[in-house]
Amino acid sequence: MKKNLLVIVSAGFALFSMFFGSGNLVFPIGVGVESGGHYLMASFGIFCTGVVFPLLGMLGMTLYEGDLSKFFRWFGKKGVFLFSFLALSLMGPFGVLARCLTVIHGALKLLVPTASLSVTSLTICLLIYLMVVNKNRIVTILGTILTPFLLLSILAIIFFALGRANLPELQFSTNLDAFKNGFFKGYQTMDLVTSFFFAKFVIKHLKASDAKGEEQEAPLKVFLKASLIGAALLYAVYFALVVLGSLYAPMLVNVPPQEMFGRIALETLGSFGAPCVSLAVSLACLTTTIALTSLFADFLRKDVLQGKIGNKLAILITLTIAFFVSNLAFAGIAKFLGPILEAIYPVLITLTVINIGYGLYKRKTSVAIVE
């Protein structure tokens, strides 16, 4: 029983840390700034696209045992390959992975104002390489080591920041406007897309645990319990960040999105805020970059190059691309990601719901036949 609980908690923390990356720390604050004081509805909007849909994606993939070809069977074999290549490229070195490097640089500039983007990106890439090489320990590292530090540092900043501000006055925007803004800004986190690929890490983690010796449905039950932990952690942090953005909106009007969290911390914690922000942002991004690097490198090695290169070289190529793309900076990367995500998200949401319904129907039918 204790081992099962440990597996559930570890997997839940891993879900949180996998999803909580650069965009998840940046966009909720921006949503709060633009909420006009309607922070509750704004946070509910980002809850839908940043928490509910990604976990539905994970659930769907769990029902299909993490098999991407079965989940996207409607696309055909070539369609699955092209979708995987596009999604992993945007999640990886051409999009989110590179974006994480720019956000880490922004955080470190609070400590070292003269730090250059290229030097910071290169240093972080080397660190990621060392951690991804031993990919069998990814879930363990994320769930039991990095996540507690990440949560503590973020919560410390949120605690002090919330205690130093007054509730915002409602402005011209409406609850519906705030909800819609949070909902569509949630696309930018790309968490639904990443859920299709992150699922295999969690499934492997559950299969490797002692829970695999129980009923056949036990891994699914364990996942559902772990997802509740992950969802609760994600929404709690999102809600707090949206509230912070709403509370400190007047001083954040002309501040770039990736610098808002740092500005709030410096305002509330003074000189102590810089190391706290650097730690929180760096860990938030680092936990995501580990998984993204491993995913793209595996796809590059196995599916694109058909095993013609080794794992280490695939990781090196992935991080090299990310290093060069990161020099476009946060705004440059976000500019081409936005339109693509707005086009593909409705399709992916619909497909996810259909697949979950079909998967649950098949499971119920097979159980009825056995009985």
- What are the pLDDT digits (tens) for 20-36? 776 788 889 999 998 88
Name the amino acid, one letter, at 324: F
172 has a pLDDT exceeding 60: no
Residue pair 222/206 in contact (Cβ under 8 Å)? The answer is yes
Residue pair 197/89 in contact (Cβ under 8 Å)? The answer is no
Residue pair 229/9 in contact (Cβ under 8 Å)? The answer is yes
User: What is the share, in percent, of the chain residues with pLDDT greater than 90?
Assistant: 16
pLDDT band at residue 17 under the 50/70/90 scheme: confident
Lowest mean pLDDT segment, chosen from 32-41, 109-118, 159-168, 176-185: 159-168
Residue with tokens 């010796």: 213
The alpha carbons of the chain give a radius of gyration, in whole angstroms, of: 20
Beta carbons within 10 angstroms of residue 149's beta carbon: 14
Q: Which residue ranges form the domains of the chain, and what is each CATH number?
A: 2-354 (1.20.1740.10)
Per-residue three-class SS string for 14-50: HHHHHHCCHHHHHHHHHHHHCCCCCHHHHHHHHHHHH
Top-confidence residue, 46 or 8: 46
Residue with tokens 């790309």: 190
Q: What pLDDT, on a 0 to 100 scale, did the predictor assign at position 270?
A: 76
- 169 DSSP assignment: P
Q: What pLDDT, on a 0 to 100 scale, did the predictor assign at position 67?
A: 83
What is the H or E stretch that residue 5 is in? helix 2-19
CA–CA separation, 337 vs 8, rounded Å?
Answer: 33
Average pLDDT of 224-246?
A: 88
Tell me which range, 142-156, 278-292, 346-360, is most confidently predicted by mean pLDDT: 346-360
Q: Greatest CA span in the chain, whole angstroms? A: 69
Average pLDDT of 268-280?
A: 75
Residue 151, CB half-sphere, CA atoms under 13 Å: how many? Answer: 18
User: What is the share, in percent, of the chain residues with pLDDT greater than 70?
Assistant: 84
The tokens for 141 are 């590292």
CA–CA separation, 282 vs 191, rounded Å?
Answer: 19
Residue pair 139/294 in contact (Cβ under 8 Å)? The answer is no
Distance, CA of 46 to chain centre: 13
- For CA atoms 286, 289, 118, 264, give the dihedral sign: negative
291 has a pLDDT exceeding 50: yes
Residue with tokens 């570890």: 10
Lowest mean pLDDT segment, chosen from 42-46, 276-280, 340-344, 345-349: 276-280
Top-confidence residue, 48 or 261: 48
Residue with tokens 């968490």: 191
Average pLDDT of 132-154?
A: 64
124 has a pLDDT exceeding 50: yes
Nearest 5 degrees, angle CA 172-CA 178-CA 184?
A: 140
121 has a pLDDT exceeding 90: yes
Q: 190: left (phi > 0), else alpha (psi -120 to 50), else beta?
A: left
CA–CA separation, 207 vs 205, rounded Å?
Answer: 6
Q: What pLDDT, on a 0 to 100 scale, did the predictor assign at position 135?
A: 57
- What average pLDDT does the structure give for the chain? 81
